[in-house]
Amino acid sequence: MLALTAVSGHSAYYFLKELEKAGYTGKIRGIKRMTSKISHLSDLKLDIEYVDAEYDDHDSMVKALNGVDTLLHIAPNTLSHKVCDAAIDAGVDWMISIQTTGKFSKFKSAAELYLKVDDELLSKKDRIKLTVLYPTMIYGSMMDKNISKLIGFIDTHRVFPVFGKGHNLMRPVAGSDLAKAYLQILNQPDVTQNKEYVLSGEEPTRYIDILKEVAKNLHKRVWFVMIPLNLSIFLAKIYNLVFRKALISVEQVQRMQEDKAYDHDDATRDFGYNPMTFEEGIKIQVEEYLRKKKEKK
């Protein structure tokens, strides 16, 4: 049996749709928190059952994973080592864990937790088959937690603050491309087990060009104001003190200054990973945003 965590989320939805498209007939167990909503999954033509569990509760996760052969752990990545312990005790044969490229950050404060979690996770590979994936910033749907916020802000504001010069390189990856990669990995266990892969977008893109591409697809004229880095960090600290649901953290401001254009050559070589360009992906996402905006009127 195949199981996946965070079944209510953006990446899981795309993956389940990919399984549906491929005519997958095996049993699936979707693991979620009790408060998670799954109404958007009701029309899926898959043999799927939903189970509530708490990812940091060992007994809860062992029970949820009973009878599972392969686990796709999508989130939360900071608890992956604990989920792995539960998977081992439940007799899971293979765990595919989605981690974060945050571990590659040059900022110690940003990378420290992720490095520690990954080290703990990878230390268990002698007890379970393990494939670890590092997606870059995920986008492609208004369910994401990244570009969707940018789209909404750019659509409703004439001025957009850019922390630093905006010349740092990024390779955002579409959720639909991740879903295809997950299926490719599952279908080629002899090649992909006990490996680590970065899953990034088709090519590096400057942050400022990402913003401009969003504005272009929205047909908006936006003034992008460059704010010096030191001032940006200070303002981010004040912003986070004032607003409980701040859209950006100090760590994000810091990480915006470094290149995150990690290549996916290993994934392409091993299982044929071939992501779309950002221009293609953002056009699809903005069209979804505009369609939903029109429906609300």
What is the rounded CA–CA span in Å between residue 232 and residue 255? 12
Give how far Cα 37 sits from Cα of 7, 9, 49, 179, 235, Å.
9, 9, 14, 20, 35
- Is the preceding omega at residue 204 within 30 degrees of 0, hence cis? no
Residues ≥6 apart with Cβ < 8 Å to 156: none
Q: Do residues 170 and 253 touch, judged by C-beta distance below 8 A?
A: no
Ranges of residues in the chain with a pLDDT under 70 are 108-110, 247
What is the rounded CA–CA span in Å between residue 64 and residue 105? 34
Q: What is the pLDDT of residue 232?
A: 83
In degrees, to the nearest 5, what angle opens at C-alpha 80 toward C-alphas 78 and 85?
Answer: 135
Give how far Cα 222 sits from Cα of 91, 154, 157, 225, 252, Å.
54, 7, 7, 9, 22
Q: Phi and psi of 123, rounded to 5°? A: -70, -10
Q: What is the pLDDT of residue 252?
A: 76
- Give the total residue count for the chain: 297
Q: Do residues 70 and 92 touch, judged by C-beta distance below 8 A?
A: yes
Strand, helix or coil for residue 257 = coil
Per-residue pLDDT of 77-99, as tens digits, reads: 899 999 999 999 999 999 999 99
Q: What is the pLDDT of residue 235?
A: 84
Q: What is the pLDDT of residue 207?
A: 94
Eight-state DSSP code of residue 128:
S
pTM to 2 decimals? 0.90
